[in-house]
Structure 1
Amino acid sequence: MTIWYLTDLIGVSVFAISGALSALSKKMYHDLIGVFFIGFLTAIGGGTVRDVIMNAHPIAWIRDPNYLIVIIASVIIAVFCRKWWMGALQRPLLLFDTIGIGLYTILGLQKALITGVNDWAAILLGVISALFGGVIRDTMVNDLPIIFDRQLYVTPCLTGAILYQLGRSLDINSTLNLLVSAGIIALFRLLAIRYDWSLPRIQD
């Protein structure tokens, strides 16, 4: 089991929990199948869009049953631990989403590089991997997609992806580069929320 495969499974799990918690926050307690599908779509949405763009077949979750096993287990954990999370963590959905975008930005970027795309395209595909699951989740539960949040959301992903590419050019250990770049994305996003950072508005 490589670090990249393990990171992929962790990212899938985090996003599945994020999707399930979002559904549960809408009081969907009596529609567990609906909760599962929102968790499932959140978990595989960004990676599937990325792979379709790259024409990378078969798509990972179709080829490897471990993805579905992880998603099912993660949704079950989200359902049974929801009261603890809601009590122990002030904003659990935000936490899982932030961890997810950090992991999936770098993972998606690396997967794109393996297929031979250019460095800038790989950065954009990494961002797509991180964001589209959340867009699907928010749309499904009738929320404004979080990418339109006034605090910085896309910018941390771009920053971390560019730093990862810089690390590759400097021959930094790939595991260390992954952890540092993903961590910077998550920290940047949390600081943007904490201090209400945003880019200048486009004037009418």
Structure 2
Amino acid sequence: MLLFVVQLVGIVAFAASGALAAVRARLDVFGIVVLALTTALGGGIIRDVLLGVHPPETLRTWPYLLVATVTGLIAVWFHPQLARLRWSVLVADAVGLGLFVTAGTATALAHELPAYSACLVGMTAGIGGGAMRDILLRQIPLVLRREIYALAALAGAVVVVCGAELRLPEVPVTLVGSVLVVALRLLAIWRNWNAPTARRPPP
């Protein structure tokens, strides 16, 4: 039940992120809803494919599709207000990242994957939808840029795995992991933290 609730909240956050990005790109209503669905469900589909769950859970559970669609339509309705809020896109994306990473890692552990594999699956579940969103918008995926994104996701996944190894209560561990991801992501944006990049070759 906890995983279901966490994933629903994460779907709302990621759907809002995708829809707001589509509004800023001046897509029509169909494009906004498609981007909301892609951002919200893409990571979960990739996770289930990696775990061998067929068909993916997000395509078999109608509340996921409904919630993502409704969130996209709400963004269409209120887009004049939302389009002016740049930080709303970033915050929604950070919240979705945190929730999907922890839910994806917990799901991987429930499938009895080893710790390192659960971390990778959880990280992929968190970054997959956003990467698909950026590709559809013809942008370099955020996870491949200098900003701290995948590293924040990996940190949250490690928290969930460590909590499971220590047999700590699931709810507090999930909350701490999600908050850590969101905090790291927003701090990286605020403080302009970047991952190292390769040196440019001399002219």
Tell me the TM-score range normalised by the shorter chain.
over 0.9
C-alpha distance in structure 2 between counterparts of 1:141 and 1:201, whole Å: 24
Match of 2:139 among 124, 136, 143: 143
Aligned to 1:72: 69
Letter of the 1:74 partner, please give it.
T
C-alpha distance in structure 2 between counterparts of 1:55 and 1:165, whole Å: 20
C-alpha distance in structure 2 between counterparts of 1:172 and 1:97, whole Å: 28
Taking structure 2 as the reference length, what is the TM-score of the superposition? 0.93
Aligned to 1:33: 30
Letter of the 2:109 partner, please give it.
L
Aligned to 1:153: 149
C-alpha distance in structure 2 between counterparts of 1:49 and 1:169, whole Å: 25
Aligned to 1:8: 7
Letter of the 1:58 partner, please give it.
P
Q: Unpaired runs of 5+ in structure 2?
A: none
Match of 1:47 among 44, 50, 69: 44
C-alpha distance in structure 2 between counterparts of 1:198 and 1:27, whole Å: 29
C-alpha distance in structure 1 between counterparts of 2:188 and 2:3, whole Å: 27
Matched, 1:106 2:102: yes
Number of equivalences? 200
Aligned to 1:202: 198
Matched, 1:22 2:21: yes
After superposing the two structures, state which structure 1 stretch, 104-113 or 90-99, moved more.
90-99
Aligned to 2:180: 184
Retained in 1: the 8 A contact 2:22–2:32?
A: yes
Aligned to 1:131: 127
Matched, 1:164 2:189: no
C-alpha distance in structure 1 between counterparts of 2:51 and 2:42, whole Å: 14
**SS at 1:91 equivalent:** helix
Q: Unpaired runs of 5+ in structure 1?
A: none
Letter of the 2:73 partner, please give it.
I
Matched, 1:122 2:118: yes
Deviation at 1:160, TM superposition (A): 1.4
| Identity, % of aligned positions | 31
